[in-house]
């Protein structure tokens, strides 16, 4: 693990995943930062490091080379810009920005910087995602023709009152598209390649009166290689169901169910990857969404070997652009980008 000292900004819900991963990987977590001093102190105590309340102090710290951003969406760009300007590597939580315009600004700054910026799209590291990408790349199943992605999750009023930056255009930058389903949008664009057109729509079906942003969205996405994807996402379901992802090729179809991957050719179905919660797999927890450790390990390995981290700012921006195109197609561009 890298010798560089690390700091994490934002000690809320996602913080423990970063702190635990760093600890498990033998990283050097030197400071945690939260504008709420009670949260900063509690986190510092739990991980035996220093507590700060102003992230700008990190810029002056020679003992800190990497800064993880686990803050509300609208703070990612100003914080990342300040850290890159100070020569710190940045690993930001998704989405890299709360608007496409801001994200573009950050991608340009990151390209000019001598430091690296990575975006936390950890689902690319899930075993089924890796296998699906290999099969798209190899052409083993013929040309990719279509994809289907369905995200049906549950978020209630308490989720939004607990962190008031959520649910607002100015601070979250969008709803289910920018926060929950951004991972799935990222997988679709990663697997499908260059996008040529997007037609979609967003609505607030379940949480009207509680949030400004959308809780439900759908889209049809056309790719330069001729493939088409249909996408549906909602925070208005009664529970958090496993994401349903299907890829149709000329010579077969792949289906991800939880963390297992199935290949169907004609009437024959084969298990390509057997997840821990499938009848064929060992007992344990589902892998879906639990790849923070893999991503963080890879980020630090890239820093160690001075090689580019694959999910850089330009790569992280693609999902933000896709979300922006769905808003625009839905006529919500003015609210989303004002």
What mask, x for binding ligand NAD by CB under 6 A, covers residues 273 to 292?
----------------x---
33 binds ligand NAD (CB under 6 A): yes
SS3 for the chain is CCCCEEEEECCCCCHHHHHHHHHHCCCEEEEEECCCHHHHHHHHHHHCCEEECCHHHHHHCCCCCEEEECCCHHHHHHHHHHHHHCCCEEEEECCCCCCHHHHHHHHHHHHHCCCCEEEECHHHHCHHHHHHHHHHHHCCCCCEEEEEEEEECECCHHHHHHCCCCCCHHHHCCCCCCCCCHHHHHHHHHHHCCEEEEEEEEECCCCECCECCCCEEEEEEEECCCCEEEEEEECECCCCCCCEEEEEECCEEEEEECCEEEEEECCEEEEEECCCCCCCCCCCCCCCCCCHHHHHHHHHHHHHHCCCCCCCHHHHHHHHHHHHHHHHHHCCHHHHHC
What mask, x for binding ligand NAD by CB under 6 A, covers residues 75 to 114?
x-----------------xx--------------------
Q: Tell which one of 72, 103, 200, 275 touches ligand NAD (CB under 6 A).
A: 72
Q: Tell which one of 32, 81, 119, 120 touches ligand NAD (CB under 6 A).
A: 120
Residue with smaller CB distance to ligand NAD, 100 or 223? 100
35 binds ligand NAD (CB under 6 A): yes
Residue with smaller CB distance to ligand NAD, 24 or 250? 24
CB of 19 to ligand NAD, least distance (A): 12
Q: CA-to-CA distance for 127 and 226, rounded, in angstroms?
A: 26
Q: Tell which one of 8, 22, 29, 71 touches ligand NAD (CB under 6 A).
A: 71
Q: Tell which one of 28, 30, 68, 73 touches ligand NAD (CB under 6 A).
A: 73
CB of 292 to ligand NAD, least distance (A): 7
Q: Which stretch binds ligand NAD (CB under 6 A): 67-75, 130-138, 273-281, 323-331?
A: 67-75
Of residues 202 through 221, those in contact with ligand NAD by CB under 6 A are none
34 binds ligand NAD (CB under 6 A): yes
Residue with smaller CB distance to ligand NAD, 79 or 302? 79
Which residues are at the interface with ligand NAD (CB under 6 A)?
9-14, 33-36, 39, 55, 70-73, 75, 93-94, 120, 122, 163, 179, 289
């Amino acid at each position: 693990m890298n010798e560089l000292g690390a700091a994490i900004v934002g000690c809320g819900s996602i913080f423990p995943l970063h702190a635990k991963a760093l600890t498990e990987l033998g990283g050097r977590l030197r400071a945690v930062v939260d504008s709420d001093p009670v949260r900063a102190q509690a986190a510092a105590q739990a991980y035996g490091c220093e507590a700060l309340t102003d992230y700008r102090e990190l810029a002056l710290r020679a003992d800190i080379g990497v800064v993880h951003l686990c803050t509300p969406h609208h703070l990612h760009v100003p914080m990342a810009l300040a850290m890159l300007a100070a020569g710190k590597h940045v690993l930001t939580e998704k989405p890299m920005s709360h608007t496409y315009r801001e994200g573009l600004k950050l991608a340009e700054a990151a390209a000019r910087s001598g430091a690296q910026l990575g975006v936390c799209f950890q689902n690319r590291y899930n075993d089924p995602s890796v296998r699906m990408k290999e099969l798209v790349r190899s052409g083993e199943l013929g040309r990719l023709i279509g994809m289907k992605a369905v995200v049906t999750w549950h978020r209630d009023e308490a989720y939004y009152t607990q962190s008031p930056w959520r649910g607002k255009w100015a601070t979250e930058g969008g709803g289910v598209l920018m926060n929950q389903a951004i991972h799935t949008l990222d997988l679709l664009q990663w697997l499908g390649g260059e996008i040529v057109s997007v037609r979609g729509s967003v609505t607030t079906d379940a949480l009207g009166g509680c949030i400004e942003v959308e809780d439900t969205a759908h889209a049809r996405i056309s790719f330069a290689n001729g493939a088409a994807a249909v996408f549906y996402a909602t925070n208005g379901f009664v529970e958090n169901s496993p994401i349903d992802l299907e890829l149709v090729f000329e010579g077969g179809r792949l289906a991800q169910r939880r963390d297992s991957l199935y290949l169907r050719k004609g009437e024959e179905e084969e298990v390509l990857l057997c997840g821990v919660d499938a009848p064929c797999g060992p007992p344990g927890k589902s892998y879906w969404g639990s790849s923070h450790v893999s991503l963080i390990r890879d980020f630090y390995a890239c820093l160690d070997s001075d090689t580019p981290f694959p999910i850089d700012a330009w790569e992280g921006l693609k999902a933000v652009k896709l979300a922006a195109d769905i808003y625009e197609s839905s006529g919500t561009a003015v609210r989303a980008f004002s």
